[in-house]
Structure 1
Amino acid sequence: MTWWKRGAVWWHVYPLGFTGAEPEAPQPGTPARHRLRRLESWLGYAADLGCSGLQLGPVFASETHGYDTVDHFRVDPRLGDEDDFDRLVRAARDHGLRIILDGVFNHVGRGHPKFGDPAWAHWFVPVDGGHATFEGHHGLVALNHDHPEVLDHVVRVLDHWLARGASGWRLDAAYAMPASFWHKALAQVRPRHPEAWFGGEVIHGDYIGYVAESGLDSVTQYELWKAVWSSLNDGNFYELAWALERHDALMESFVPLTFVGNHDVTRIATRLADERHLGHALAVLFTVGGVPSVYYGDEQGLRGLKEDRPGGDDAIRPAFPGAPGDLDPAGRPVHGLHRRLIGLRRRHPWLTAARTAVPHLTNTAMALESVGGGRLLTLLNTGQEPYRFPVDVAGLTVAERSHPDAADPCVVPAHGWTILTG
């Protein structure tokens, strides 16, 4: 693992929403709106939060939401142009931050110049007199990943933006693409960009098998995401323990991309039935193995419900103010909690590859022990009464907790949590 990936924590931003871009692409010839520059004023905020880089959502020319790409080599004019991208990369590096991009290569928008051109029909998959789409979305036309020209195109796009300063890629809808496609692509790209990171969006299925066959560095850990909020809502830590056992098995093969929120799901502050359990969710995220990602606004306690309807993503992809100083002060406590836990994570970079066991478990009380270059014990209590954990804390000291200092580190108050390190 190269130096910059060890201990990495991403601040995940959906640029079209963050910058308040129009919902649809402008007419051809409309001057570019240099909104990408607005992100520059937030780089210090991301660095101060403790993050080591930006995980950007789609920035390439598209028809609407960014996932209906029409030109992989051009910045969306609603965000700016290639010079704006170069500026952002330089500014990010000045703040010690790296940038990874969202690569949408399973499908393109119907406005893509090669779609509808008979000379390029082999780029797309014909079905019943029409064309295959991504999960039935008419505007998202599936690419033919068996054709060498499509492979060549994707390789050129990956190379182009890595050479321009990106440090890696989050590969959208990787689960809908053959793992063998990425194996072929990365065999060409990695020799030219050996330090680049490649993570795929995989929602369910054989994570280990997909990583092994594709050659990706990582995939999204949706199993753990679901278990975190579900176990807290249901008072059933056995579900989380089962997911962590699965997670620990993944850690034998690769380091997953972990999260409690992203651009596709209801925000964690809305998802949790009891707001007192937000700290529990974050304590799990930042004390188990993986590469954690914080979705912009979650660190401010923003709420937002994902709905299955046109425009149903708008609530979870809001515009941010022009500068950090314009944020609502009500978000400061949640921001401070994120900052402390990310700081703990960054002080223990071995946690990226940590292995986690569960030495004590009830429905509402759970102890997580993560080991690697050190030892860290996370105690979670969602019960209505204080709970004494029968665990060995010899050599450990309290690093973070949800409650004022107490004499006995093994006693966690109702709806409280404690993290001990040694």
Structure 2
Amino acid sequence: MARTASLSGYLELLPAERLVELHLLDTLREVFEAHGYSNLETRAVETVDTLLQKGEIDKEIYAISRIHDDDAAKEAKLALRFDNTVPFARYVTENAGHLAFPYRRYQIQKVWRGERPQAGRFREFTQADIDIVGEGALSTRADVEIAVVMAKALQTLQIGEFTLRVNSRKLSEGFYQAIGLTETAAVLRAVDKLEKIGPDRVARELSETAGATEEQARQALSLAQIRTADTSFASQVRELLPADAAGAELLEEGLAELTEVVDELNARVPGRAEADLSIARGLDYYTGTVIETVLRGHEELGSICSGGRYESLATKGKRSFPGVGLSIGVTRLLSALVDSGELGASRTVPTAVYVTLRADEDWAAAQDVADQLRARGISAEVAFSAEKFGKQIKYADKRGIPFVWFTDGDGGHEVKDIRSGEQTAADPASWSPPAEDLTPQIIHKTAEG
């Protein structure tokens, strides 16, 4: 993947890399469906107004229009989706009468953002999302389920050690209100930058955008430094509150919800989660639990899986559809693991057998052989012309095909393992390759091993 791209920010995969990507996508799909999530695909295009209502990413949205429209940039009313969540919310409101709530769905599609291309950052990339949406209300147990399912998916991918870093926006906003900070959205946006710009610059931004005093900035930063593997964060938060703090109902609600989530995660996927009160998430639609995921050995990627609870992203008249969801940046994860050699494929093509031609007129008979193999689940290709056997074998080797099939003039068959050179008699009605050669195998090598 390190090769030069003709258009920066847009990833194109070589055959072996695509096999790894398909493995990731198939694994995610299997885990999601095992937990009852149904698949959904939404359109790539949304109205600009729909996208601009959600979050602080207007500079990253790609507007689209016909090439011959006058003043296209000014008049564009449509844009490419920047994530799967906003289109999903639109889908829910438009189709609420046809859905059973709570509605569980997974969605694996490409999204587009006008980011500056760099390592792990693309303008076109694939995201894999899972969400649970309720009608009117949704239990905190949905927050737990989403996190558990995603943790199991990441475990099944065998990508190495990871940690779900969990917080509650209710907790954070309640704390800010208790210490007298009313511009909580501005505080959250500033704190969300803590790992990127450091505490001094965050404190300065808190003063400039949220009107924080030096003491309030210190308290907000102290909250962000709390990180525990259990529920002891709750007592640490209360210790930070001044004795004369105003009512903290929202804070207590957030503490209770985060305690439930962390407790259940420790029971269901032990060692995979921690409470981290620095997590804020930059998008404005999150209202409760928020989650980011760090992959050990690839901390430079930032969060490989993130999301959280939203109460009002989807509404229709007096009806509201609260939900919770998580998203994996599949392309970011794939590029890092393939480039590092931690994930690879045992061969570049699905083909297990290359059926050679002794003479051009044997092509139909060779197709019959291939069809017999395919009928038993063995992927096979047939040569187009009767070149020298050495050239046909060389082609198969270059393609990464492990076995070459020969048929002699009397109708006898032999198959050759071109890796070892071993050649044996074979019957197309019964021969099979070793199990490990039937399909390409995904090779896992963790950063630690």
Q: TM-score range by the shorter chain?
A: under 0.3
Instruction: Choose 1 or 2 for highest CA Rg.
Output: 2
Please give the TM-score of this superposition, normalised by the length of structure 2: 0.22
Structure with more relative contact order (C-alpha pairs < 8 Å, separation 6 or more): 2
More helix by share: 2
Please give the TM-score of this superposition, normalised by the length of structure 1: 0.23
